[in-house]
């Protein structure tokens, strides 16, 4: 039993309960005030966090390398895994951000045949993460239909592609298929659930997991779950919801009557996610771009990296010191590098300035 995921789970239930009980009584709070506040916290928090990072030092060149560094012309360089040019870094960053290559390299250590150690490709984290992030992106883009009027053709095209399968289940007791089923929403819930269960059931993952790992996953699962509930099971009035959403983005907020509490739970979860975002590990959205291990040139043998924040230290060299005190040193019988005869009246460096 791990109290970390239990506390996160309880927090999610508490949040759902707050919205469930609160929204019918105070729809303007959950439908207008909190979403606005959440967006403000998100934007200001995000910008502050990234600006904070932009001010921090990069004292060393610490690119991680995954292949041969540029050296002799007849040794093949791994251009993207050990990039020595800006193009190489750009490609490396793009591949990392769009395809999560570092997760693809995930391995698991195993003892087999008695005590032979071997490393196995462990691909499921990569698959799960890829499915999760792209499903999230598509769902988010599709949601733009609530916030844009007229709905742009690109969004409609995305909807058509996402609903391509026309999955339909139709019996007297279960009715599923109209409105059309969107794959991304289901994939999002499934992938988030997988990433959560992975932390629960793999012992060493559980060991390093904290509430700040469980909470965002559970929150996103809650968002996807309430969304799916609304679309396919307890139906909601989409026209009224779009009216509310359009009111928010045109700064003429209004609360149409009779929107199901499930929608307010969904919206409250999203508000919590937005407000929580800048203070959580979810900031890797911005952080990935600023990872020195990925975005620095791997040319450490060609170019000396000087920390640009180095404080210009005032030095007083021994030479200058001796110039200053040579006569006195000689008088006192101390050894000197240069005898005063050769440069009796020479000025010291500092005196010249």
Partner 1 sequence: MNDKKWIVLGLILFVGLFSFPFWFNVGKAAPAPEVVLTEQAKAAKECVMPTDFMKTEHMQLLDVWRLKVVRDGVSQFVNADGKEFDMSLSNTCLDCHSNKAEFCDRCHNYASVNPYCWDCHIDNPKGDK
Binding site for ligand HEC (CB under 6 A): 178-180, 231, 238-239
Stretch 251-270 residues interacting with ligand HEM (CB under 6 A):
263, 266-267, 270
Using CB distances below 5 to 8 A depending on partner kind, what does residue 256 bind out of partner 1, ligand HEC, ligand HEM, none? partner 1
Contact flag: residue 312 with partner 1 (CB under 8 A): no
State the CB neighbour count (10 A cutoff) for residue 83: 27
Contact flag: residue 140 with ligand HEM (CB under 6 A): yes
Specify which residues 176 forms β-bridges with. Answer: 169
Interstrand relation of 169-170 and 116-121 (parallel, antiparallel or unpaired) = unpaired
Give whichever of 22 and 66 is closer to ligand HEM, judged by the CB atom.
22
Give whichever of 115 and 310 is closer to partner 1, judged by the CB atom.
310
Half-sphere exposure of 99 (CA within 13 A, CB side): 8
Using CB distances below 5 to 8 A depending on partner kind, what does residue 228 bind out of ligand HEM, ligand HEC, partner 1, none? ligand HEM
Half-sphere exposure of 295 (CA within 13 A, CB side): 9
Nearest to 105 by CA among 115, 113, 94, 95: 95
Nearest to 223 by CA among 130, 160, 143, 156: 143
Contact 256, 11 (CB under 8 A): no
Q: Quote the least distance from Cβ 51 to ligand HEM, whole Å.
A: 24
Contact flag: residue 150 with partner 1 (CB under 8 A): yes
Strand extents, DSSP E, the chain:
107-112, 116-121, 169-170, 175-176
Using CB distances below 5 to 8 A depending on partner kind, what does residue 177 bind out of ligand HEM, ligand HEC, partner 1, none? partner 1
| Contacting residues for 322 by C-beta, under 8 A, at least 6 apart | 329, 336, 337, 338
Contact 198, 208 (CB under 8 A): no
Residue 178 to residue 167: CA distance in whole angstroms: 9
Using CB distances below 5 to 8 A depending on partner kind, what does residue 175 bind out of ligand HEC, partner 1, ligand HEM, none? partner 1
Using CB distances below 5 to 8 A depending on partner kind, what does residue 64 bind out of ligand HEC, ligand HEM, partner 1, none? none
Q: Quote the least distance from Cβ 205 to ligand HEC, whole Å.
A: 36
Q: Residue 120: is it exposed, middle or buried by C-beta count within 10 angstroms (0-12/13-18/19+)?
A: exposed
Residue 192 to residue 217: CA distance in whole angstroms: 6
Using CB distances below 5 to 8 A depending on partner kind, what does residue 213 bind out of ligand HEM, ligand HEC, partner 1, none? none
Q: What is the DSSP string of 232-265?
A: IIS---HHHHHHHHHHHHTT-----S---HHHHH
Residue 189 to residue 218: CA distance in whole angstroms: 10
Quick one: which of 132, 182, 215, 276 contacts ligand HEM (CB under 6 A)? Answer: 182
Stretch 82-141 residues interacting with partner 1 (CB under 8 A):
none
Give whichever of 218 and 296 is closer to partner 1, judged by the CB atom.
296
Q: Quote the least distance from Cβ 222 to ligand HEC, whole Å.
A: 19
**Binding region for ligand HEM (CB under 6 A):** 136, 139-140, 142-143, 146, 179, 182, 184-185, 188, 223-224, 227-228, 230-231, 236, 238, 241, 245, 263, 266-267, 270, 273
**Binding region for partner 1 (CB under 8 A):** 42-43, 46-47, 50-51, 53-54, 58, 144-145, 147-151, 155-156, 159-160, 168, 170, 175, 177-179, 235-240, 242-243, 246, 249-250, 252, 256, 258, 286, 289-290, 308-309
């Amino acid at each position: 039993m791990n109290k970390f995921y239990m506390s996160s789970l309880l927090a999610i239930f508490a949040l759902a309960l707050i919205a469930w009980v609160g929204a019918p009584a105070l729809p303007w709070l959950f439908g207008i005030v909190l979403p606005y506040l959440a967006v403000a916290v998100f934007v200001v928090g995000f910008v502050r966090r990234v600006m904070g990072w932009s001010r921090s030092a990069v004292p060393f060149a610490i690119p991680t390398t995954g292949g041969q560094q540029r050296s002799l012309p007849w040794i093949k360089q791994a251009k993207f895994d050990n990039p020595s040019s800006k193009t190489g870094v750009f490609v490396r960053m793009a591949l990392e951000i769009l395809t999560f290559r570092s997760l693809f390299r995930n391995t698991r250590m195993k003892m087999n045949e008695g005590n032979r150690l071997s490393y196995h490709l462990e691909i499921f984290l990569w698959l799960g993460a890829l499915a999760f992030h792209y499903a999230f992106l598509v769902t988010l883009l599709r949601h733009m239909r609530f916030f844009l009027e007229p709905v742009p053709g690109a969004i409609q095209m995305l909807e058509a592609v996402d609903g391509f399968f026309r999955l339909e289940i139709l019996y007297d007791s279960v009715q599923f298929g109209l409105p059309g089923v969107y794959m991304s929403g289901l994939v999002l819930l499934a992938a988030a659930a997988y990433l959560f269960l992975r932390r629960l059931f793999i012992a060493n993952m559980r060991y390093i997991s904290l509430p700040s790992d469980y909470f965002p996953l559970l929150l996103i699962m809650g968002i996807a779950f309430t969304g799916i509930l609304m679309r396919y099971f307890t139906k909601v009035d989409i026209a009224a919801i779009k009216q509310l959403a359009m009111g928010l983005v045109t700064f003429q907020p209004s609360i149409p009557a009779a929107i199901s509490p499930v929608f307010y739970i969904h919206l409250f979860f999203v508000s919590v996610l937005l407000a929580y975002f800048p203070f959580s590990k979810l900031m890797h959205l911005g952080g990935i771009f600023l990872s020195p291990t990925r975005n620095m040139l791997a040319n450490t043998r060609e170019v000396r990296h000087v920390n640009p924040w180095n404080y210009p230290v005032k030095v007083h060299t021994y030479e200058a010191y001796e110039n200053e005190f040579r006569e006195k040193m000689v008088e006192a019988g101390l050894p000197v590098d240069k005898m005063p005869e050769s440069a009796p009246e020479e000025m010291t460096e500092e005196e010249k300035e």
